[in-house]
Amino acid sequence: MKTIRIKALAVLSVTLGLTFVFALVVRAKGDDFNSVVKLIEHFYGVKHQGIPFLAKAGMKVTTTAAKIKGGSARRLAEAGSVKVAFFEDQTFAGDFTRFRSSLNAALSQTWTPLIQTLSATDKEQTYIFVREADAKYNVLVITIEQREATVVQVTLSPQNLLLLMKDPEGTGKNITQEATIIDQE
Amino acid sequence: MKLLFQKLRLPLIAVALVTLAALVAQAQDPRIQTASLDHLAAKASQTVDVNIDERLIRLAAKLLSDKDSDEKEVKEIITGLKGIYVRSFEFEADGQYTAADVDSIRTQLRAPSWTRMVNVASKKEGGLEVYILMNGEQIGGLAVIATDDRELTVVNLVGLVNLDKLAKLEGQFGVPELGIEKAKPKNDQ
């Protein structure tokens, strides 16, 4: 009788443990954009301006079209998939190698770091992370300069992810441009 | 004591064999570790880390066109790959990285697992070392160390590599322009 109780207790503990871990993973996966914004705010002591601010400024965040090489308008992100946070006219001073470690640690569970570029002299950092989202891909682009920063999360089709893989730096810039440019059309 | 040794003999042998197997596996691992270069990021004017894993490569191979001759060639190159990893540092002054930094990579590329290719060179200035890891008759991994007074680049391709078409990957998938070419045979006269 005692053995059965112990076994039942063990099964219950394992089930609860797994449920907790699963809940944590799901939470981390769903909320990484906000976690990154919070991480930047905490690390650099800055405050972001989110989508409401951009909307007030007349920017249509989810329906932007960027002019890219060759002058043709092209949309990389899937419609309605864009999340943007802006940090404008603030100081981003701090050990960027330590920031990179914190960022990688925060995202390593659910995202793959595709490309990371750092410039100690220009104090510029760009990080691009990728994760699967059903048949498509979530891409997180974090750009930090001396006086401004941008966090952009978009969903890409496999074809556009291929563009990103072939030219990670160029396409990463286009994604940020596309998500933050004022739509004049 | 003797009894204890007799009792522990089998587990000890098992532990020794597992450790040996792990060491051999590590020596033959086509993925090289570059964490020893992390500290250079604080001095570099530009640092680039590229990390394209097997899932992304498989996806790219699926999406690249068979109709476009360039894409077809790239597709052929990446089809056998399991990873593309690049670490590149550019500096504004000479002497920002040391021989010990480069040696931390070279020590992982030792014989018998790894072989240095002698018949490759670079069109660019500076040093170029290309190492391959044989997997039977095929190349199972490749490492490139490109050095210049103000530049250090490490490229690591994991999986089956087509050496003849390697140059086609330059400028794509985060692989920098290394100017790799087959060296011309030296004229002894």
Is A114 within 8 Å of B52 when comparing Cβ atoms? yes
Model pLDDT, residue A68: 33
- The residue with greater pLDDT, A86 or B178, is A86
- The residue with greater pLDDT, A47 or B10, is A47
Burial environment of residue B71 by CB neighbours within 10 A (0 to 12, 13 to 18, 19 or more):
middle
* Residue A39: other Cβ atoms inside 10 A: 19
Instruction: Write out the two tokens for A171.
Output: 């396409």
Task: pLDDT band for A74, please (50, 70, 90 cuts).
Answer: low
- The residue with greater pLDDT, A13 or B99, is B99
| A114 neighbourhood in chain B, CB within 8 Å | 50-52, 56
CA-only gyration radius of chain B, Å: 20
Give the separation between CA B44 and CA B42, rounded to whole angstroms: 6
CA-only gyration radius of chain A, Å: 20
Computed over every residue of chain A, the mean pLDDT equals: 76
Is B50 within 8 Å of A114 when comparing Cβ atoms? yes
Give the separation between CA B83 and CA B157, rounded to whole angstroms: 6
**Average pLDDT of the residues in A77-98:** 86
pLDDT digits (tens, 9 = 90+) for B79-127: 989 999 999 999 999 999 999 999 999 999 988 889 998 777 777 777 8
- The residue with greater pLDDT, A24 or B179, is B179
Query: Which residues, listed in sequence order, are joined to residue A83 by a DSSP beta bridge?
Result: A153
Give the separation between CA A114 and CA B55, rounded to whole angstroms: 12
- According to DSSP, residue B61 is labeled H
**Average pLDDT of the residues in A161-185:** 77
Q: What is the ipTM of this complex?
A: 0.76
> Per mean pLDDT, which range of A41-45, A66-70, A149-153, B28-32 is the poorest?
A66-70
Model pLDDT, residue B68: 87
Q: Which residue in the set B38, B49, B63 is minimally distant from A162, CB to CB?
A: B63
Interface check for A161 against chain B (CB to CB < 8 A): the answer is: yes
Q: Spell out the alpha helix ranges (H) of chain B.
A: 2-27, 54-63, 69-79, 99-106
Instruction: Write out the two tokens for A150.
Output: 């941008």
| B42 neighbourhood in chain A, CB within 8 Å | 95, 97, 120
Residues 6+ apart with CB under 8 A from A76: A66, A154, A156, A160, A163, A171, A174, A175, A178
Computed over every residue of chain B, the mean pLDDT equals: 84
Of chain B, the end-to-end C-alpha distance in Å amounts to 72
> Per mean pLDDT, which range of A65-69, A113-117, A152-156, B147-151 is the poorest?
A65-69
> Which residue in chain B is spatially nearest to A96 when comparing CA positions?
B42
- B175 has a pLDDT exceeding 80: yes
* Residue B124: other Cβ atoms inside 10 A: 14
- Residue appearing with tokens 């100017």: B179
What is the full DSSP assignment across A62-104?
GG--EE-GGG-EE--BPTT--EEEEE-S----S-HHHHHHHHH
Model pLDDT, residue A106: 94
Model pLDDT, residue A41: 95
Interface check for A112 against chain B (CB to CB < 8 A): the answer is: yes
Task: pLDDT band for B29, please (50, 70, 90 cuts).
Answer: confident
Which chain B residues touch A if contact means CB-CB below 8 Å? Answer: 38, 41-53, 55-56, 59-60, 62-64, 92, 172-174
* Strand arrangement, sheet containing A136-144: A83-87, A149-156, A136-144, A124-133, A112-119, B46-53, B81-90, B151-159, B138-148, B127-135, B114-117
Model pLDDT, residue B185: 61
| B41 neighbourhood in chain A, CB within 8 Å | 96-97, 100, 118, 120
Model pLDDT, residue B184: 64
